Homo-oligomer: A and B are copies of this chain.
Amino acid sequence: MPRMNHFADRLIAAVRAKGNPVCAGLDPRFDQLPASIRDSAIRTHGKTAKAVAEAFIEFNRELLDALADLVPVCKPQVAFYEEFGHEGMRAYAETIRHAKARGFVTIGDAKRGDIGSTAVAYARAHLGGMSITGGERVGFDSDALTVNPYLGHDTLMPYLEIGAQNGHGLFVLVKTSNPGSGDLQDLKAEGKPVYEHVAEMVNKLGEKHRGASGFHIVGAVVGATYPQQLTELREKMPEALLLIPGYGAQGGTADDAARGFHRDGLGAVVNNSRALVFAYKESAYAKEFGEARFADAARAAAQRMAEDLNAALAKRRA
């Protein structure tokens, strides 16, 4: 089978193959890693950024290996790697590489945004890499990148163009999951909230980049913590894939998240970070798995989340 070269088609195929729309948020925090991983890294590398990077790589590798047959998509949050400088970014690159090798569709959660000529550099950095005059291919090369629309549509074009060239996609922040997201996003301008203006930008950017799945390569981030807006935005952007944060720790339920899907149960992925990758610390899993089996705990949490979402989607279909 030839590798599908359309981002949305690949994502939809992965969701179908795994039978659920779970996105595993790979947001490592050094002080929350299993002590065995932390101690071993510090023993070898001292209290350095390199130790943190090696611990992140090991933690994510075990998680990804445990989740590979169950979870279709993963989304490392760049901030948690960038916090540890260039060594942290090495761990980020390695995480993306391993996730792709294990068959995950990868979304780099970087929320980048800059003027056009600079956005080209970000797009190259994250959506396909570039080679140095025929030499080493560099950059991070995730399948998709989250991007910030505040600077305007011209600043999103480089992600679209470079993404389309390389079979990659983007997710534009439309309505984010945090408490203050309304400050600018909900302002009413010309009769509709700013987030609707952004939704129209998403539709316009995507219209020439539709795949066989019916979805285009310009997705949108809409939080499960705002279910009413999620319903509204699902309707406004019928061909956009939605990336839905805010499930779990932030308070969004499966029924909330389900509003981001079409009636056929497709069209979105739902992210879970902390409650999934650190499931081994939660009372529901701590006893059964314990620290040593953190990856199995994450797998159990992902399984439960998949069932939770699929039940909510089935209810909606009925």
Contact = CB atoms under 8 A, between A and B. Distances in A.
Interface of A: 27, 30-31, 42, 46-49, 51-52, 77, 79-80, 82-90, 92-93, 111-116, 118-119, 121-122, 124-125, 129-136, 138-140, 148-155, 173, 176-185, 187-190, 194, 197-198, 201, 245
Contacts of A183: 149, 152-154, 197, 201
B148 A150 contact: yes
A83 B127 CA distance: 10
Given A86-B86, A88-B138, A149 B151 contact: no
A45 to B, nearest CB: 10
A317 B78 CA distance: 46
Contacts of A138: 48-49, 52, 83-85, 87-88
Given A138-B49, A139-B84, A152-B183, A119 B201 contact: no
A74 to B, nearest CB: 16
Given A125-B79, A138-B49, A150 B185 contact: yes
A121 B82 contact: yes
11 contacts: A46-B136, A51-B135, A52-B132, A77-B121, A82-B121, A115-B177, A149-B150, A151-B176, A183-B197, A187-B194, A194-B194
Contacts of A77: 114, 118, 121
Given A86-B89, A115-B178, 16 more contacts: A42-B135, A52-B138, A77-B118, A79-B125, A82-B121, A83-B139, A85-B129, A85-B140, A149-B183, A151-B176, A151-B178, A152-B176, A152-B178, A152-B183, A155-B178, A155-B180
A154 B180 contact: yes
Contacts of A140: 85
Contacts of A51: 132, 135
Contacts of A185: 150-152
A135 B201 contact: no
B184 A135 contact: no
A147 to B, nearest CB: 10
9 nearest A-B pairs in the assembled complex, by CB-CB distance: A47-B135, A152-B180, A154-B180, A152-B183, A187-B189, A79-B121, A86-B89, A115-B178, A86-B90
Contacts of A133: 31, 47
A150 B221 CA distance: 13
Contacts of A131: 47
A27 B121 CA distance: 11
Contacts of A132: 30, 47-49, 51-52
A115 B80 CA distance: 12
